[in-house]
């Protein structure tokens, strides 16, 4: 049978995926994201719950929590390196730290899951050590230093990784908590600005330390050949390069040269 112009020969360029399978992939991805959100919220909520349990225990049993505070450069204040963030002066102090601690901790676990707990641990410890060494000789209590550390990590880490999604989180943190920068200055004597400053420095340290770990910027194509291979285009038999002909529904149409009319057809 003769073809006036060209002969179409369908060549399979990649396995055909029915829409039902694609929809299932989307559902699976949504389920994974939902589990990540739930896990992040549970851990962040548990952390905040510990602070409230300590305050409730203090209120019910009239427990003196001063022993858990951090007193710089004293042997009895060493315990405060670990316990300072658990103690708060009053309910307003506790509430003002609980909300940002929950949101920032949840964000770090969700977006930086690979390094989130290490970042949290470093910020907790480094903030306490810095306060113990450099702060005034007063009793320091509260989780605000950890809050500053988490906020600073999120603000700097996204820009260091040059990832659009993480940079948007950084900008959001700067927008919501940018006013916290005044907290690192000695403007109010009754506020532990040293904890804020040490926490912020710990956050910057963690952003630098883990800039090559955790989520990284996604690279979709390395070069033109990789781009063509990603679409499943077979190599051109004559040139050795990848064909750029269109494909539809997993099938690519390759046009053969017009045959000589003198040749027999079968």
The count of residues in the chain is 266
Nearest to 141 by CA among 218, 217, 61, 71: 71
pLDDT score at 27: 80
CA dihedral 93, 80, 41, 89 (to 10 degrees): -10
**What pLDDT score was predicted for residue 48?**
97
CA distance 132 to 69: 11
Please state, in angstroms and rounded to a whole number, the distance separating the CA atoms of residues 136 and 74. Answer: 12
Q: Which CATH architecture has domain 19-209?
A: Up-down Bundle (1.20)
Q: Where are the domains of the chain?
A: 19-209
- Taking each helix axis from N to C end, the angle separating 144-161 and 193-209, rounded to the nearest 10 degrees, works out to 30
By the 8 A CB rule, do 158 and 170 touch? yes
CA–CA gap between residue 265 and residue 255 (Å, rounded): 18
Instruction: Count CB-CB contacts under 10 A for residue 130.
Output: 20
Q: What is residue 245's predicted lDDT score, i.e. its pLDDT? A: 46
Helix (H, G, I), strand (E, B), or coil: what is residue 137?
Answer: coil
What are the residue ranges in the chain where pLDDT is below 70? 1-22, 216-266
How many whole angstroms separate alpha carbon 175 and alpha carbon 114?
A: 25
Beta strands 247-248; 251-256: pairing state:
antiparallel
102's CB contacts (< 8 A; 6+ apart) are 44, 45, 47, 48
> What spatial distance separates the first Cα and last Cα of the chain, rounded to whole Å?
7
Contact (CB, 8 A) for 187 and 239: no
């Amino acid at each position: 049978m003769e073809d006036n112009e060209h002969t179409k020969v369908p060549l399979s360029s990649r396995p055909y995926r029915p829409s039902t399978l694609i929809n299932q992939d989307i559902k699976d991805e949504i389920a994974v994201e939902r589990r990540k959100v739930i896990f992040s919220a549970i851990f962040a909520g548990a952390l905040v719950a510990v602070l409230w349990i300590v305050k409730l225990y203090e209120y019910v049993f009239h427990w003196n929590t001063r022993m858990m505070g951090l007193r710089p450069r004293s042997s009895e204040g060493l315990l405060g390196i670990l316990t300072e963030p658990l103690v708060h002066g009053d309910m307003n102090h506790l509430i003002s730290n609980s909300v940002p601690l929950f949101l920032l901790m949840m964000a770090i676990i969700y977006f930086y899951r690979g390094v989130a707990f290490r970042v949290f641990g470093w910020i907790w410890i480094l903030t306490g050590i810095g306060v113990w060494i450099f702060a005034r000789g007063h009793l320091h209590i509260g989780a605000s230093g950890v809050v500053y550390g988490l906020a600073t990590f999120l603000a700097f880490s996204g820009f260091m990784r040059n990832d659009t999604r993480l940079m948007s989180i950084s900008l959001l943190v700067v927008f919501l908590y940018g006013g916290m920068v005044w907290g690192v200055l000695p403007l109010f004597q009754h506020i532990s600005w040293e904890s804020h400053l040490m926490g912020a420095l710990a956050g910057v340290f963690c952003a630098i330390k883990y800039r090559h770990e955790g989520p990284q910027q996604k690279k979709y194509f390395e070069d033109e050949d990789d781009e063509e291979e990603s679409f499943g285009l077979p190599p051109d038999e004559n040139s050795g390069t990848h064909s750029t002909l269109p494909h539809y529904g997993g099938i690519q149409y390759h046009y053969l040269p017009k045959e000589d009319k003198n040749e027999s057809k079968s």
